[in-house]
Structure 1
Amino acid sequence: MSSNDKRSDVDLLRAQYEELAELAGSLAHEIKNPLSVIHMNIDLLSEDLLEANSSDNRRSLERVDIVREQCERMEGIIRDFLRYARLRDIDLVSGNLNDQVEAVLRAYQAEAEAREIEVVRFLDNDLPVIALHSDSLQAALMNLVKNALEAMESGGQLLARTYTTQNSIALDLIDTGSGVDNNTVMHMFEPFYTTKEGGSGLGLPTARKIIEAHGGRISVQSEVGRGTKFTLEFPVPKRIVVG
């Protein structure tokens, strides 16, 4: 097969993927609209039942609450899916990785304190700039930090460390939480794979797509009962020589 034939096959597969992604996004939108109407009317029905207080209505309210919870879960799945499906090329500008990490850690400081989790920072003050998109990168980091906090049910420590390697600018996020087994590590970046009750299974796949859209990569190491380490690596701008 010639290189032109190979290129044609790749272009065809990309076009098919983009068409499927667009179709899936449209389907999610079509589901989202009637689901919002159902959710709104469930809230109105709940208000009506509260006004007419009786033992029968209390039982009905319990059933209404179940329907509402499932509506909210489906809305969350659709919201996460649309965020995942819409992620395409993003405009990157020069920025400091430390600033992005600090912004996310500050956002979760209150939750960390409530969970009795110590947040430790080892951020390289001489870190070179990277090409980044602040909103999407912070969204990816928030997902990772949130997962880390939720993995430490009885307190613990979250360590954030930035540093340079020969070929990259890196970030480690290390928690002392429950950890996961090797099977979970193998599948955790697959869409819709989740070990959390009520989870959409799209948080980590979306985070990986964001990191890859930055030209970077994400890897994970974990041990049950000891914790998890995520490593994000971003390319060094060509004008900067590290080492």
Structure 2
Amino acid sequence: MKGHTLSTRLLISTALITIFSVAAILLGNNTPLFVFIIVLIGLIAAMDIIHSLSPLKELECDLKRISEGEIPDKRITAKRSKEIISLIREYNRMALALSDREAKWRERSTSYHKLQGEIVRLRFVALHSEKILNSVTLGIIVITKSEIVSLTNNAFHKLWGINTTLAGLPVSQIPFISEQNDWINGIRDVLSSGSERTLPTIKAGERKLNILLAPLYEQMKPGNPGEIAASRTRFAPRNDAIDGVITLCEDVSEKILMEERLLQSERLAAVGKLAAQVAHEIRNPLNSIGLNAEYLIDRILNKKGLSENELQSLLEAIREQVNHLESVTEQYLQMTRPPETQIKATSLDELFREIDVIIRPQFSFKGVILNLKAKGSLPQLFIDPGQIRQAILNLLTNALDVSKEGDCVNLEARIMNGHVEISVQDQGPGVLTENIEKIFLPFYTTKRDGIGLGLALTKQIIEAHKGEIKYNPSMKEGSRFTIQLPVNQQ
């Protein structure tokens, strides 16, 4: 009966039992053999039916598990009844579909929970980012590459006195930006070059602002399409596209005011120090002049008379002190109000000859050797010859003051990297390390009778010529001062 439907097998079994029963009745023979055969056929038919129906029990158990929410992973097999085979096949198909749906549901459920978590995280980040952004004292405005405002913070609105939102507006419609050519040009420059830019100080009402423009980069990361990352220029990968510009506005009004007050205090302190120095420098010569004058008056009034030598000596002393006063006054005037430079083409060779004529007698008198060296062909310089001559003479005078008899002082000039380098080197004691930073300061001096303005004036003259002066301690002994002047400066 294998392969027949259940109804066919029941029909065949019933027919066999009926045939044997009828045969037994017709033959009138109730022998045990017929009874045994009939019973055996019935048992076989019953067992066949029971065996055919056994998958239904298994099906019942699986359906019960499905109703409880469990999807069986084992499939039911049936080999006899076509109806049952068909039923089991449909069941297996249904169980497989349910299993697939459950797997997809679980996957979607996991994704949903992840999405919910990400939404919560993003809301948290957005909330706290906004709080952080609005707690920053710097004014911040973010502008897209289309020159549209995408974001501002509270500090920006406060700095510019704005009560309305700017997000979504083109910068061309924001007057205080569009009217600032430096700002507009700066935004476009950053978008094109990707480099940071600092603008000159801008006024916002009574406030003074420093403006920094920096690029924002659109960073496309693998696995995170569309994710935007903001970065400063030096941290941004080269391949990232510029997505916009972030502008930082810093209120420097108080800072500038404090700097101006500090500068004013320094000026007042300098004036006070200058007044004290002037009083000190003038007092001694005036005392000397006063004493000599009193002596003359006393001699004249008492008719004691004066010899020609005495009179000459007194008058020379008075003249010397007057000259000293004139020198002090001139130096202070130069320090407080340096004369305007009168630039003209000047030959260094000629300038060195003039310096030699002026200073060599003093060197000879003290027994100090002066060497003038010009290395190579020196070009003409566009300088104020009088001022540069005075600066070099100041250095040579200082070198002479620290030199002893038999020492050498070298004045050299040479071309170095587009500059003329003029150096004065002596064999004196040099400058103490802790005093090197002070030597160019006004009123600083280690000389007993010095004013402390010589090197300060020299530095002022050189810087007025767009040059530079440096002190270089000698490797062996003495000091070396170096002046650098640009060759093509006109």
Which amino acid in the other structure matches residue 191 of structure 1?
A: P
Q: Deviations over 1:109-129 (max 9, x none)?
A: 111112221211221351111
**Given the alignment of the two structures, is residue 175 of structure 1 paired with residue 426 of structure 2, yes or no?**
yes
Distance in 2 between residues matched to 1:222 and 1:70, nearest whole Å: 35
Counterpart of 1:158 (choices 400, 409, 414) is 409
Q: TM-score, normalised by structure 2?
A: 0.38
34-43 vs 204-213, greater mean Cα deviation: 34-43
1:57 aligns to what? Answer: none
**Given the alignment of the two structures, is residue 45 of structure 1 paired with residue 242 of structure 2, yes or no?**
no
Which structure has the larger Rg over C-alpha atoms? Answer: 2
Q: Is the 8 A contact 1:178 1:225 kept in 2?
A: no
Which amino acid in the other structure matches residue 192 of structure 1?
A: F
Distance in 2 between residues matched to 1:224 and 1:46, nearest whole Å: 53
Q: Is the 8 A contact 2:346 2:382 kept in 1?
A: yes
Residue 69 of structure 1, CA deviation: 9.8
- Taking only the aligned residue pairs, the percentage that are identical comes to 22
Residue 181 of structure 1, CA deviation: 1.2
Distance in 2 between residues matched to 1:187 and 1:92, nearest whole Å: 30
Residue 209 of structure 1, CA deviation: 0.3
Q: Is the 8 A contact 1:192 1:200 kept in 2?
A: yes
Rate the CA distance shift 1:238–1:71 in 2: closer, same or farther, 3 A. Answer: closer
Q: Is the 8 A contact 1:167 1:235 kept in 2?
A: yes
Distance in 1 between residues matched to 2:200 and 2:361, nearest whole Å: 55
Distance in 1 between residues matched to 2:360 and 2:405, nearest whole Å: 16
Rate the CA distance shift 1:46–1:229 in 2: closer, same or farther, 3 A. Answer: same
For residues 1-243 of structure 1, the aligned pairs below 5 Å read 3-4=200-201, 5=208, 24=271, 41-51=290-300, 76-87=327-338, 89-124=340-375, 126-222=377-473, 226-237=477-488
Rate the CA distance shift 1:126–1:206 in 2: closer, same or farther, 3 A. Answer: same
List gaps (5 residues or longer) in structure 2: 1-137, 139-198, 202-207, 211-252, 305-318
Residue 106 of structure 1, CA deviation: 2.0
Q: Deviations over 1:117-142 (max 9, x none)?
A: 12112213511111111111111111
Which amino acid in the other structure matches residue 81 of structure 1?
A: Y
Which amino acid in the other structure matches residue 333 of structure 2?
A: L
Which amino acid in the other structure matches residue 174 of structure 1?
A: Q
Q: Is the 8 A contact 2:462 2:469 kept in 1?
A: yes
List gaps (5 residues or longer) in structure 1: 54-67
Q: Is the 8 A contact 1:185 1:222 kept in 2?
A: no
Which amino acid in the other structure matches residue 343 of structure 2?
A: L
Distance in 1 between residues matched to 2:338 and 2:350, nearest whole Å: 23
Distance in 2 between residues matched to 1:121 and 1:74, nearest whole Å: 32
Distance in 2 between residues matched to 1:77 and 1:178, nearest whole Å: 26
Other structure's SS at 1:108 match:
helix
Distance in 2 between residues matched to 1:172 and 1:130, nearest whole Å: 16
Distance in 1 between residues matched to 2:375 and 2:404, nearest whole Å: 29
Residue 207 of structure 1, CA deviation: 0.6
Q: Deviations over 1:173-215 (max 9, x none)?
A: 1111222211222211000000000110001100110111111
Distance in 2 between residues matched to 1:162 and 1:187, nearest whole Å: 26
Rate the CA distance shift 1:113–1:230 in 2: closer, same or farther, 3 A. Answer: same
Distance in 1 between residues matched to 2:286 and 2:455, nearest whole Å: 29
Q: Is the 8 A contact 2:394 2:458 kept in 1?
A: yes
Distance in 1 between residues matched to 2:367 and 2:286, nearest whole Å: 40
Rate the CA distance shift 1:44–1:70 in 2: closer, same or farther, 3 A. Answer: closer
Distance in 2 between residues matched to 1:72 and 1:95, nearest whole Å: 30
User: Between Structure 1 and Structure 2, how many residues are aligned?
Assistant: 218
Distance in 2 between residues matched to 1:74 and 1:224, nearest whole Å: 39
Q: Is the 8 A contact 1:122 1:161 kept in 2?
A: yes
215-224 vs 152-161, greater mean Cα deviation: 215-224
Other structure's SS at 2:334 match:
helix
Distance in 1 between residues matched to 2:438 and 2:325, nearest whole Å: 22
185-194 vs 125-134, greater mean Cα deviation: 125-134
Residue 76 of structure 1, CA deviation: 4.9
Q: Deviations over 1:75-131 (max 9, x none)?
A: 654432111111154221111223223211221111111222121122135111111
Residue 225 of structure 1, CA deviation: 8.0
165-174 vs 216-225, greater mean Cα deviation: 216-225
Q: Deviations over 1:28-52 (max 9, x none)?
A: 6x97xx9798776554213124455
Rate the CA distance shift 1:71–1:224 in 2: closer, same or farther, 3 A. Answer: farther
